[in-house]
Chains A and B, each alone.
Chain A
Amino acid sequence: MKASPTPAATAPLIEVHGLAKEYGSGGSVFRALRGVDLVVGRGEFVAIMGPSGSGKSTLMNLLGCLDTPTAGTYRYEGIAVEGLDNDQRSMLRRHALGFVFQGFNLLGRTSSLDNVALPLIYRGFSRGERRSRAAAALESVGLADKLASLPGELSGGQQQRVAIARAIVTEPVTLFADEPTGNLDSASTAGIMELIVHLNRNRGITVLMVTHDEQVAASAGRRVTIRDGLIESDHRRP
């Protein structure tokens, strides 16, 4: 990653101050976030909750460098993210972040193996290395027998497992999950949450997860509630 300052070992993983995001301009400005302060340490599992339109997804997208804030500061491992250009943010995502979306966002007409191997292309791995790592990642989410399946041939729960395998195949520091169980039935939801908890506990991946499902949020060690673009509450499980 070019021009990245040396991460301060003592800095928290994620540290934001006064983070704000406005949509639109002129008379019809919608303030999705109105100044959020949040610190997340390594290895935490944070559930971000709140009603629809509260700004929880916006916060998640800003933290995941998928969107740019209107105001505020964001340090990721001590790096000032708001000062990075598009390419540098891409590099940060490439090397440190993984994403799981509500709608899976897999490439259609593309096998599980190729979907999972996709991020490795941009990491510069050889074809053989990509395939073996992708296969290992799929095995770790319990889809060792679905390597050649296309997304359309898989159930929702299986598709989300492929998406998780794609997110973790690069061994990211932080996993961002936006309503990962929003499109799934309760049986699949339990399996996915078990997997995410496992990644957090056993592989030390920091997880930030947006959800409005109380049961799902119960897996997390910390619960941040957003309302009207501000943090309403922030509880750690004892």
Chain B
Amino acid sequence: MYWNAFAIALQEIARNRTRAFLTVLGIFIAVAAIVTMVTLGEGATLAVKAQIASLGSNLLTLRPGAGFGNRASSAGVPSFTEEDAATLGEQVSGIALVAPVGTVSLGTIHQHNARVSTVVGTTPDYFGINRWKLAEGRFLNAADQRDGGAVCVIGETVRRELFGDADPVGSRIRIGRASCEVVGLLAAKGQAGMGDQDDTLILPLSALQRRLVGRTSRHDINQISISARDGTDSLALIAEITRILRVRRHLRPDQDNDFNLFDTRQIAETLGATTQLMTLLLGAVAGVSLVVGGIGIMNIMLVSVAERTREIGIRLAIGATAREVLLQFLVEAVTLSCIGGLIGIFLTLGLCVGLARVIQVPFHFNAGINLLAFLFSAGVGVAFGFAPARRAARLNPIDALRHE
């Protein structure tokens, strides 16, 4: 009897291709909507999280001026000195690494390619603080720093702009009026919320001072990058750094700080909250898709069962039992739902791999949401294919036959 029902069901599916196609399509669309939404959404969420992580979660940045960012009013405010950085490193126990940073915008040229880059002069600890990884070559080291060697490390954006497809390591580029050997290429970090981190060119602070800007002033450090030790209380750390700097910068107690301290942990928390909101929003959209898809499937199944009540009557009249008819309808509904669900999942995952590339988010496979979308659509398909069939099969055969 079970094999029979299965055979009849498959025969019926083959015989009514349009109906089968519409049923499969309904389930396919529901599954596709949910899976696309969630897969791409989670990819975007992951991208944001990865960018937060690439910033470093315990990174502090000191800048002169009272405000933060481009609007900082640093005019007339003294820069830091290398000694400021050294003192902080020695006196504050919560600091793991500290690097003085001097930046200057200069024209850079390699063969026919030229552009203006932000040139960073710093010490070797800078790479550790900012969690840079090497794609090729080496980082700057203490010897480079001591000698003020004309060597530099470049980011991915600079490589692309100046070198195109050529290998940069070992080549020389002109930075301002100096010629400089590229010794390392940094691994790309990608776009973060705060501009292109890969658009960077780093050389020893001593080289920047001696070769590029001239050793006219000791007060040319416009940023100090600090990474805190793991587990350090960031409020206490900030207070201690602030206290030391106020002393070194001769601020009276009634004067405001003429520098600012930016803690990436704050940004991480803000972005984390945004990400959570995004996830919630996606969940809501996916929920709506489920309902809309469910109603679509419901309609197709209800219309088709209304059409098929007469068929049920014929089958009952020629001697099928209600159970045999129901089993046939159940097998049909399950088969079509599964086909629709599986096609939905596989086609959509393929689509998502392509789309993820286009909108530049990582492709993330979430087995749970695939299973949920599949079970829900298949469940709706089976429930609404089966329940009306059960009603029809309970009728007297003559009532089912006369059904209009």
Contact = CB atoms under 8 A, between A and B. Distances in A.
Interface of A: 61, 64, 66-68, 86-87, 90-91, 93-95, 97, 99, 101, 105-107, 109-110, 114, 118-119, 121-124, 166, 170
Nearest to B322: A86
Given A101-B401, A105-B310, A110-B15, A93 B319 contact: yes
A122 B324 contact: yes
B15 A109 contact: yes
What DSSP secondary structure best describes chain B's contact surface?
helix
- Interface centre among B4, B8, B396, by most chain A C-beta atoms within 10 angstroms, is B396
Contact of B398 (A67, A87, A94, A122): A67
B319 A107 contact: no
A123 B319 CA distance: 9
B321 A87 contact: yes
B219 interface: no
Given A121-B8, A122-B4, A91 B401 contact: no
State the 7 A-B residue pairs at the shortest beta-carbon distance, nearest first: A94-B319, A66-B398, A119-B318, A90-B321, A93-B319, A66-B397, A87-B321
A61 B4 contact: no
Contacts of B15: 107, 109-110, 114
Given A105-B310, A109-B15, A91 B319 contact: yes
B7 A121 contact: yes
B311 interface: yes
B311 A90 contact: no
A87 B8 contact: no
B245 interface: no
B50 interface: no
A119 B311 CA distance: 13
A182 B29 CA distance: 46
Nearest to B8: A121
12 contacts: A64-B317, A66-B317, A66-B401, A87-B322, A93-B319, A93-B397, A99-B318, A105-B314, A118-B314, A119-B319, A122-B4, A122-B315
Interface of B: 4, 7-8, 11, 15-16, 310-311, 313-324, 396-399, 401
Contacts of B401: 66, 101, 105
Nearest to B323: A87
A87 B7 CA distance: 21
- Interface centre among A68, A99, A122, A124, by most chain B C-beta atoms within 10 angstroms, is A122
Nearest to A106: B314
A91 B397 contact: no
Given A67-B398, A90-B320, A99-B317, 9 more contacts: A66-B397, A67-B396, A86-B322, A90-B319, A93-B316, A93-B317, A99-B318, A105-B314, A122-B315
Given A101-B401, A110-B15, A94 B322 contact: no
Given A66-B398, A67-B396, A110-B15, A91 B314 contact: no
B319 A122 contact: yes
A118 B314 CA distance: 10
Contact of B316 (A68, A90, A106, A123): A90
Nearest to A97: B319
Given A105-B401, A109-B16, A110-B15, A94 B396 contact: no
B318 A166 contact: yes
A61 B8 CA distance: 26
A123 B318 CA distance: 10
Nearest to B311: A107
Contacts of B319: 90-91, 93-95, 97, 119, 122-123, 170
A107 B323 CA distance: 20
- Interface centre among A66, A109, A114, by most chain B C-beta atoms within 10 angstroms, is A66
A217 to B, nearest CB: 22
- Interface centre among B8, B311, B314, by most chain A C-beta atoms within 10 angstroms, is B314
Nearest to A150: B15
A207 B314 CA distance: 20
A55 to B, nearest CB: 14
A93 B322 CA distance: 13
A110 B12 CA distance: 9
A61 B15 CA distance: 30
A61 B396 CA distance: 10
- Interface centre among A97, A107, A110, by most chain B C-beta atoms within 10 angstroms, is A107
A185 B156 CA distance: 86
B323 A118 contact: no
A100 to B, nearest CB: 10
Given A105-B310, A107-B311, A109-B15, A122 B397 contact: no
Contacts of A66: 317, 396-398, 401
B398 A61 contact: yes
Nearest to A99: B317
Nearest to B393: A86
A166 B317 CA distance: 11
A95 to B, nearest CB: 7
B322 to A, nearest CB: 6
B29 to A, nearest CB: 25
A4 to B, nearest CB: 14
Contact of A107 (B314, B320, B399): B314
B6 to A, nearest CB: 11
Contacts of B399: 67
B153 to A, nearest CB: 72
- Interface centre among B4, B315, B399, by most chain A C-beta atoms within 10 angstroms, is B315
Contacts of B8: 121
